Amino acid sequence: MRKTNEKGITLIALIVTIIVLLILASVSIAMLTGENGILIQAKKAKEETKIASEKEGLLLSVTNYQIDKKEENKLGIILYDKNAENSTIWDVIVANGITYGTNWNYVEEGTNIDGYGKTKNKYLVNYETGEIIELEEGNHTRLTHGDNIGVTDGLIFNLDPSVIDTTDIEDLKDGNYESLWKNTTLNGFDWTENSGLTKKEFNFDGVDDYITVKYDSEEQKEQLAQNGFTFEYYGTIDKGNSYDENKELVSYTGYTGIFCYWNGKENKQADFRFGIRIGNANDLFWNAGFADNKSDFSISHLHNIAYPIDYSFKDKIYFTITLDTTNSYEKDGEEYYKQLVYLNGKKIYEAGYNKKQWDAFINNDLENLNTFCIGRCSMSYDGWWHYSKMNAYTLRLYNHALSKEEVRDNYTKSVAYHENLENY
C-alpha cells in the first residue's frame, strides 16, 4: 500500500510539473512573440533605430544643402506642383489628404544615403525648411504627368485639366494666372457652364474664349524647325464665331480655329495655323507660312492642307497630326516630308508635305513668332479671327513627330484617364 501511494504521488507530481512547464512555456512564448513580446519589441527597437539612423542621414543631407546650396546634396526625386507651368513635369505626393509638390523631394525606399546605407522607408524632405516626413505604407499616393500621357519628351505645351488642381480654379476666376501658369493668360472666359475650366475639360464658348501662351525660346524653335511636330486634340468641337479686322461679326466662313502660332499682333494673320472646316464635309485644316509649294491634300491656295474626316466633330474625337522633318523623300521631282494623320489612335492618312513649303516657313516666318493661341485662329485674312466652341480634354504640341506606337499609347492613356474622371 505504501509503495502504491508513492507511485500515485509521483505520477501526480509529474503531471503537475508538466502543466507548470507548459504554463511557463506559454508565458515565455507570449513574452517572446506576443504583441508586446520581447522579440516584437526588439524588432520594433531595431526598426526605430534604423529609422532614426535614416532620418539622421537625411537631416545631414539637409544641413549640407543649406550650407552650400549644392543640388547634388539633395536626395530623392524632385517634386513639382500640379499646374500649367509644370504641365510636362508635375509630380506630387498625396498623403493624408495633403498634396506635396514644389520644394519637396520624395525619397523612395532603397535610396542610398552616404554612410548610412539604403533606406528601408519612404520620406518627404523639404530642403529649404528642413522638414522630414516619414510616409507610412498605404497612406500616400504618387501622381505624375505621365498618368494620362505616354510621351512627355519634347512637349511644347500640354493643356489638360489634369494639370490644374480644382482648388486653383477660384484663383483663375479671379484672374490670378501668374501664380499658376507662367506666361499664360486666359482671355474671355466668364466661368459659366460653357466657358471655363473644370477638372474634366476646358470649355470654350466659341464667342471670345481663348488662351495665349508666350513661347519665344530660340532653342525650342530650333528643335521644331529641325524635327517637325506632333499636334494632338481630344474633345468635341462645334462652330464658333468669326470676326473681321474691325472685330465685326461675319457670316460663317467655314473655319473653326483650334490653335495657332503667331507674332502676337491682333491685326496679322498667324503663320502656323490649325483649324476645322465644318460643313457638308468636315476637314482637318492646317498650314504653315505663305509660300505656294504644293503638298498632298493641298486645296485652293496651294499652302493650305485639308484632310477630309468622315466623323462628327460634335462627338468625342481624338486626332493626331505628325510631320517628320528629319528625313525627306523624292516624288515627281520634288522633295517631301512624311506627314501622318491619326483618328482615335489609328492611321487614316499618310501624305507628303512639300519640303520647300516648310523651309520657307522656317526661313521667313519662324523667327518672328512668339505666342501660341489656343481656342481661336486667324486663317482667312489679316486680322480675321475664327473661334471654336470646344470641350477640350487634351491639347498637346510636341517638337518632333511621334511614332505610331507613341500615338497609340497617348490615345489609350488619355481616353482611359478622362473616362475615369467622368466617374466622379
Separation CA 388–CA 242 (nearest Å): 9
DSSP 110: T
Counting every residue written for the chain, the total comes to 424
**Domain extents in the chain:** 51-66+74-144, 149-421
pLDDT score, position 161: 65
The residue assigned the cell 489609328 is 346
Are 280 and 309 a contacting pair, CB within 8 Å? Answer: no
Q: Which residues lie across from 340 on neighbouring strands?
A: 322, 350
Give 10-residue mean pLDDT values along the chain (424 residues): 56 76 72 57 47 80 88 90 76 86 93 86 93 88 77 82 63 64 80 82 92 86 92 92 92 83 91 85 86 83 81 90 95 93 95 93 93 89 92 90 95 84 55
Is the distance from CB of 318 to CB of 341 less than 8 angstroms?
Answer: no
For residues 287 and 302, give the distance between their C-alpha atoms in angstroms, rounded to a whole number. Answer: 10
Residue 215: what pLDDT?
85
Structural contact between residues 153 and 186, judged by C-beta atoms closer than 8 angstroms: no
CB 50 within 8 A of CB 113: no
The CA-atom distances, in angstroms, between 265 and each of 79, 99, 246, 366 are 37, 40, 14, 15
Model pTM score: 0.70
Q: Are 229 and 398 in contact (CB under 8 A)?
A: yes
Helices and strands per DSSP (H, E), number in the chain: 6, 29
pLDDT at 33: 60
Residue 363 confidence (pLDDT): 94
Classify burial at 257, counting beta carbons within 10 Å of its beta carbon; exposed 0-12, middle 13-18, buried 19 or more: buried
- Architecture of the domain delimited by 149-421: Sandwich (2.60)
At 82 the pLDDT is: 77
| Cα 397 to Cα 391: distance, rounded to the nearest angstrom | 18
CA–CA dist 80, 17 (Å, integer): 68
